[in-house]
């Protein structure tokens, strides 16, 4: 399911990323299959979900800076790291 939300204006020092590609690792899939546990929440609660009882697992992926309000990060910069599974 895809949900579209408007992005608020960026605060000073923040950036907005467009997720280009992501992949679930074996460990992340194992946690997702196991379900939400206290240990899982403590380690994998990188990306909050606005509704109670839901969560987004972290994934390894590539992103591009779509907007920047940070003086040292330019729009178009490509990044690799832990990202939410999102568009």
Instruction: Determine the pLDDT at residue 35.
Output: 57
Alpha carbon 13 to chain centroid distance? 18
Tens of pLDDT along 27-56? 666 656 665 555 555 555 556 666 666 666
Please say if the pLDDT value at position 73 is more than 70: yes
Question: Considering the chain, what percentage of its residues have pLDDT values greater than 70?
Answer: 59
Instruction: Determine the pLDDT at residue 55.
Output: 62
Instruction: Determine the pLDDT at residue 64.
Output: 96
Instruction: Determine the pLDDT at residue 76.
Output: 97
User: What are the phi and psi torsion angles at 82 (to 5°)?
Assistant: -85, 125
Task: Tell me if 13 sits within 8 A of 70, measured CB to CB.
Answer: yes
H helix runs in 1-84, sequence order: 26-34, 38-44
């Amino acid at each position: 399911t895809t949900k579209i939300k408007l992005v608020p204006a960026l605060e000073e020092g923040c950036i907005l990323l467009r997720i280009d590609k992501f992949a679930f690792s074996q460990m992340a899939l194992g946690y997702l299959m196991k379900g939400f546990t206290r240990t899982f929440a403590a380690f994998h609660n990188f990306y909050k979900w606005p509704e109670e009882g839901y969560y987004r697992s972290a994934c390894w992926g590539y992103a591009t800076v779509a907007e920047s309000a940070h003086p040292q990060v330019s729009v178009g910069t490509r990044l690799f790291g832990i990202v939410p599974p999102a568009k």
